[in-house]
A and B are shown apart, each in its own frame.
Chain A
Amino acid sequence: MLRNWHLPFVVVLGFGLLSGCSEPSEQLRVGVAFETLQTEYWVASIEAIEAELRRRNIEMIEAVADNDANRQLDQIHILIARGVDGIIVSPKDSMTVIPMIKAANRADIPIVIYNRPPADNDGKSVTVVADNYKIARATVEYMAECAVKTGRKYKAMILIGDLGDINAIGRRDGFDDALRPYSDTIEVVARVPTEWSQDKALSGVTNALQVNPDINFIFASTDFLFPPLISALRTAGKYKKIGEEGHVLLGGFDGDPLAYSMLVEGYLDADGVQDVYFDSAASVDAVVRMHQNQIVESIIRDPGFVIHQDNLEEKAGQMWGAQIARSKDLTRLQL
């Protein structure tokens, strides 16, 4: 199923490559504006985009706004002034990206929104986004199945992201809808708002564990929040491997290197993976095709996948975090 999805894409990709070769004199320049490089997911994404651009012999101009939407808009204007041929932007939220789309449209420069879809607007843009709802739902459903198998009752907690970010909402809704049929077994007792911040997550989770010490089912809306989560669990004496007494069912989202090593070590039950390689290649491809005045569908969905203890071997090759984790291990061996 997934492989089928990739097929047309590979064809298109090859086509793009050919068309790139046909005009060797004019090197394309693409501006890549990221809201943040604070998490490994974003770093992996920008590196994957950079690799893809290099492979296609396209120059990349990078701009990082460090969480400030106004600054990001400035950076888009500057990219336009520098005369780039296309822009890939990962915006702070679904709203502030709209003036960026409009600015690009006015300058007649193609713009691709990476990972965070814009709110309704009359501008022209292409969005590449993981299907947050589906991936989150599939992840939590897998966890719920694990829970049912034990025959025990569960108390669940979710770490919610910044609700200004539509992805956070998708993941939260996926969590809720996945658990609805299991309400007899699993009761949601805590919803910790984190605004994607580790500090807020740590204090929120610590509080929640004090109020509900019997929480034993946790879904984090991003793997980025695992470090504070683990720290809080350790403090409460609840960080146990699968199969050990008192193990808390854990699920995450992103597919980062920490999640991979937690899976390997047996602490993590399931992780929803955004396919960074697909996303980055699709974004670059979309920008190139728009530059060539081809018609591109306005939303390209990354179906992603769930990685868990049962399919770890099989799926690790597609998990970006696994690649990073393994390459780090490799360097360690070489040393």
Chain B
Amino acid sequence: MTQPVLEFGHIDKSFFGAKVLKNISFVVPSGTIVGLVGENGAGKSTLMNILSGILPADAGWMKLNGISFAPHRPSESALAGIAHVHQELNLFPNLSAAENLFIADFPKQRPESLSLIDRGSLQSRATELLKQVNLDVDPGTLVEKLSPGQKQLLEIAKALKGDPLVVAFDEPTTSLTQPEADQLFIIIRQLKEQGIGVIYISHNLGDVMRLCDQVVVLRDGEIQGAGDSENFTIPDLIQLMVGRELETLFPERRNAPQDEAVIQMHSLSQPGVVHDVTFTLRRGEILGISGLMGSGRTELARILFGLDSYNQGQILVEGEVVSALAPRKCVDLGMAFLTEDRKLEGLLPSAGIVENMTLVGLERFGSRFLGVLKRATLKDKVEEVVRELSVDYRNIELQSVQTLSGGNQQKVVLGKWLLGGSRILLLDEPTRGVDVGARYEIYEKLVELADEGVSMIVISSDLEELVGLCDRILVMSRGEIRASVDRQDFDRKEMLQAAFGEERLT
């Protein structure tokens, strides 16, 4: 714990004259988990790139086990004992777990010049590595058959193969369910027990506080605060990251929800997905749905938007019974669906902002006959919405949206629905992969809309988000609604218990 395994000393880095890292100095002691937090663009990735030898530092030094360390390329860094576990998994889905582990250096049969793979040794060494990360699958299993959590564990096993001194995790829980994340944390703590230094990067501050012994907060390339994590609270961290208090992260509601029902769902069921779901969404209400992955929360939204089918129950929109739901019909009814998979279902990644933003509301800008577009009006309107949401961009038409940051991408998706005149928003994980600054701007916009009478259903794995934002929260588990809690009665513990279902209660 006392022995520093990795030290950063006065690291500076500039890109084209802009300083992205200023005088970064901190220590990763062995057997310690250090949380590195900061908004997108705060300099976390640049620092990690310097550590892994992708970028050289302009000034400053690093020491590994007390010895000066300046890798020139990733292989050098890996050889010295630095391992990275990325959010994007670098696995071959069509190969087995064992083959993925040893893809770079298969154990060979003698004579080695023949390059024949030693299957026996491959199997036994892989089994051993998988055991280290508690991954209970056969090494011959194809990676495409593994769950996201299992893949993440396999990635860690791969990192452990070279007996690393330091393991850096970059947003490892993004695609994991809570139980999978818990499993991951157990493994990370095991690494710590083995005396490995761990750097843990995440937007999920709850995870960081739960897991890390120390935290380092970056903003604009500078360390804003560092120390034992017990000396910080989440609001402290956010304040350091964005220079703003937590209370203002969730804006105050000005108007209470109205009584008028916008969506009424009666006893909706689809075998194996949702069971007997009944709820009402009122005008101007922000209704949260909490629950674990697989609890039926996303599935419910997909059914409501006509993407999936249901076999029982009734849905009323604005008091009218709606049958044969389809996305197009829902759009006509003023509904919007911001899905959790932004790249596949939210954006046209290779198209520009204008093209993306006008996707829903296109018809409103076309003439009745032949659908000739009023392009000037259209562009003005897009620019207006872009300004309202403060989207950061270089070229509104030519720049493809996949080059925008996660927060700006999400603003574009939201803008698309607002431009389409949607009055009922279904938001599934609206701030996934969005940094804290942009997150605040999105919350602000949502609350403003609700005050104006827009109704919304917010689905999120982040309970803090729902507590801060919603008028009411429904808790789902195993396809059923287990609890409906009004704002004044919000109790995190109770809601978590409901989310975990009966097992936790008994």
Task: Tell me, yes or no, whether A and B come into direct contact in the complex with CB atoms closer than 8 A.
Answer: no
A interface residues (Cβ-Cβ under 8 A, vs B): none
B interface residues (Cβ-Cβ under 8 A, vs A): none
